[in-house]
A and B are shown apart, each in its own frame.
Chain A
Amino acid sequence: MEESGKNIEQKSKSSPKKDKVVIHIKGLKKSFGSNHVLKNITLDVKSGENVVVLGKSGQGKSVSIQCIVGMLIPDGGTLTVFGEDVTAMNEKQLKELRMRIGFLFQGGALYDSMTVRENLEFPLTRVLKLKDKNEIDQRVKEVLGGVGLLNVIAKMPSDLSGGMRKRVGLARTLVVKPEIMLYDEPTTGLDPITSREISELILQMQKKYKTTSVIITHDMECARITADRIVIMNDGEFIAEGSFDELKKSKEELVRSFFN
C-alpha cells in the first residue's frame, strides 16, 4: 500500500505539460429528482490555469466540482480528468484520482476531534501511507508554515478563527501535493480583509505548488485576485467566459450585474 502511495506521488510530480487540458467537461447534466441543477455544462481547464466559476447561490456551482471528484455521478455528458472518464471509474481508480485532487470545503471541514497537526498528518498516513515520522513532520511543518500558521500546530480546530480554519484546511489539502485544487467558496463567511488574505494565499499556493485550480465563488474580489479566466454560471449553464476585465465590459446585463 505504501508503494502505491509513492507511485501516486511520482505521478503527481511528473506534472502535465502547460496548456494540456486536465479537466474536460462537455454537456454535463445532473438532476436531483425534478430539480435540474446542471443542464448543459461545457468547460476545459488547462494545466496551471486558475478558473473561477462565478454565479449566484443555488446555481449548481458546487455540484459541478463535486462531479469532478466523483462525489456525485452526473446524469449525462462527458467528464474526464487527466484524460480519464470519471464516471466510468471503479473505487480504486477513483481513490487514485482523488489523491491527485485537493478539495477545500466552505468551512475548511477540519476533523474536530484531532489537533491541527493530526489533521495534516491524516492524509499523509492514511492516503499516501507514509511511515517515516521525520518526513511526515517536515511536510506538515512546511505546508503549515506556507499558510503562516505554524504556531497553531498543537491547537484544536475549535480554538481557531474562521479564516485560520480555512488556511489550515488549505494546508491539509496541499500537504499531499495535489495537481488540481478545487475550492468551494473559499471566502464565504469571512470579513473583507481575511477574504483578501485567503484569495492572495490561494494565488501564492498555486504559484508555489504549480496547481491547476477551479475556484467556486460569488466573491468578486476573490475572482479578481485569483482568476486567469472566469466562467459565469446561471441556471445550470455557463453563460459567459473571459477574463475579469473582459466580462466587466460585457454587453450582457446579467454578466455585468456581477461586477456592479
Chain B
Amino acid sequence: MAETAEQVVPGWKKWLEGSGDQVIFFKGFFRNVFRGGFEWSEFVRQCYEIGYKSFMLVGTTAFIMGLVLALQLRPTLINFGALSMLPKTLAVSIVREIGPIITAIICAGKISSGIGAELGSMKVTEQIDAMEVSGANPLQYLVVTRILATTFMVPILTLLGDVLGLVGGFLAINITSSVSGLLYFNKCIASIDFTDLLPAFVKTIFFGFIIGFIGCYKGYNSNRGTESVGLAANSAVVTASLWIFVVDAIVVQISSLLFYTK
C-alpha cells in the first residue's frame, strides 16, 4: 500500500528528532570528556572487555580472510603472469581496506550490540536513573568510558588483524608453493608506505568512535520494557555497520584525492 502524506511526515519528523537527539548526545559526550574526574578504572576495564575479549574473534576472522584472499588471488595473478605480485597485492588490500573494514564490522556486531544491550538493560532496570538521581554522572561513567575505549581499542585490534591477515596469506601461499617467511614479509612491508597506513589508521579511529557512540546512544536512549533491549542491540549493529561503510567511502574518497591521484 502506498504511504499517504500523513504517514510520511511523522516518519521524517521522527528521523529529524532522532538526529537532534544524537547531536545532543554527542554534545553531552564531548562536554563530559573534558569535565574532569575521568573514570580511569572504568576506562581500563572497558578497554579489557572491548579489546582483549574481541581479539580472538577479530584475529581468527582476519587470519581466515588473509588466507582466503591469497587463495583467490593466486589463480588470477598466475593468468597475468604476476604471481610475484601476490604479497604486495595482499598487503595493500589488507592494510588499506580488508583489515579495517572486517575488524570494524566484527566489532560493530560484537561490541556495539553488547554496549547497546548493556546500557539498554540498565535503562530498563532503572540503574541509569538510580545513578542520575544519586547525583553521579552516568554519561561520564557509562558513556564517555565506553566510547573512548572503542575509539582506542579498534585501531589496535585492526593492527593485530592486519598482521594475522598477512600471516594467513603466507600460509595460503605455502600450501601450494614454498616461500620463505623473510622474503614474504619483506615484500609485504616494502609494498606498504605512509599513504597506505595513514588513511587506514585514521578511518579505524572513526570506526571505533562510531561503534562506541552508536552502541551507547541506542542503549542509553532505549525505551522502557525488555523488548527495547533487543531493539537497542539490533539497531546498534545495523546503524553502526551502515555508518562504517559511509565513513569508509568518504575516507577512501578523500585519501584517493590526497594520495593516489597519479
Contacts and interface: CB of A to CB of B under 8 A. Distances in A.
Interface in A95-120: 95-96, 98-99, 101, 103, 105-107, 109-113
B68 interface: no
Interface string B115-132: 000100010011101111
Residue of A105, A169, A173 with highest tally of chain B CB at under 10 A: A105
Contacts of B131: 111, 122
Interface string B26-47: 0000000000110000000000
A127 B134 contact: yes
A211 to B, nearest CB: 15
Interface residues of A, number: 25
Max chain B CB contacts within 10 Å: which of A101, A109, A110, A169? A109
Contacts of B141: 126
A77 to B, nearest CB: 21
B173 to A, nearest CB: 45
A123 B133 contact: no
B115 to A, nearest CB: 12
A1 interface: yes
A254 interface: no
A122 B41 CA distance: 13
A4 B92 CA distance: 56
A69 interface: yes
Interface in B112-165: 118, 122, 125-127, 129-137, 141
A88 interface: no
A112 B127 contact: yes
B37 A123 contact: no
A176 B130 CA distance: 14
Contact of B127 (A101, A103, A110, A126): A110
A172 B132 CA distance: 14
Given A1-B37, A126-B141, A109 B130 contact: yes
Interface in B35-74: 36-37
Consensus secondary structure, chain A interface: loop
A121 B134 CA distance: 12
A126 B125 contact: no
A55 to B, nearest CB: 20
Given A1-B37, A126-B141, A107 B132 contact: no
A160 interface: no
Interface size bucket, B side?
Answer: 10 to 19
B168 to A, nearest CB: 35
A62 B37 CA distance: 32
A71 interface: yes
Contact of A109 (B118, B129, B136): B129
A127 B138 CA distance: 11
Nearest to A95: B135
A103 B135 contact: no
A206 B132 CA distance: 23
Contacts of B130: 103, 105, 109, 111, 169
A109 B141 CA distance: 16
A99 B135 contact: yes
A95 B137 CA distance: 9
A3 to B, nearest CB: 14
A210 B168 CA distance: 68
Choose among A1, A122, A176 the residue with the greatest number of B CB atoms under 10 Å from its CB: A122
Contacts of B37: 1
Contacts of A173: 134
A98 B129 CA distance: 12
20 contacts: A71-B129, A71-B132, A95-B135, A98-B132, A98-B134, A98-B135, A99-B135, A105-B126, A105-B129, A106-B126, A109-B125, A109-B129, A109-B130, A111-B130, A123-B134, A123-B136, A126-B136, A127-B134, A172-B134, A176-B134
Q: Which 9 A-B residue pairs are closest in the complex by CB-CB distance?
A: A109-B130, A98-B135, A109-B126, A127-B135, A103-B133, A126-B136, A99-B135, A105-B126, A123-B134
Given A109-B129, A172-B134, A173-B134, 9 more contacts: A95-B135, A96-B135, A99-B134, A105-B126, A106-B126, A109-B127, A111-B130, A123-B134, A126-B137
